[in-house]
Amino acid sequence: MQKIGQILKNFKPAEDKYISREFQSFGVYLSEELDDYKHRGLYIKLAKTVHRSILEKALSFTADSNAKNKGALFMWKLSQLRKNPKSEISNPKQIPNSNSQNQK
């Protein structure tokens, strides 16, 4: 993960003229890591709409594999992480209120 200052230092207006926001940079980074530059628009959309920690979890799962189609594996893992209601990311643990139970 890069800081926004580092991204702006490395920004070259002549080459990176279509990347102006941080989520766009992360989407392009995802497409490069997954060797799926053809679908970079999809990854930019995901970087904009999906929580970053879910994307990073799916990316780390995919990066450790030897799959031929890393993009498909990434999308499968992403759907698993988003569907799983017991996941700490999609459903944070709530602290029960013990006072309301003891008042009866």
Question: Residue 91 domain-assigned?
Answer: no
**Distance (Å, whole) CA 19 – CA 13:** 9
Token couple for 44: 């930019």
- Is the residue at 11 inside a domain? yes
Number of domains in the chain: 1
Is residue 62 one of the residues assigned to a domain? Answer: yes
Q: Tell whether pTM > 0.85.
A: no
Task: Read off the pLDDT of residues 23-38 as tens digits, 9 standing for 90 and up.
Answer: 888 999 999 999 998 9
> How many Cα atoms sit within 13 Å of 49 on the Cβ side?
8
pLDDT tens for each residue of 6-64:
777 776 665 556 777 888 889 999 999 999 989 999 999 999 999 999 999 999 999 88
Q: With respect to residue 98, please indicate whether it lies within any of the assigned structural domains.
A: no
Domain that holds residue 28: 4-85
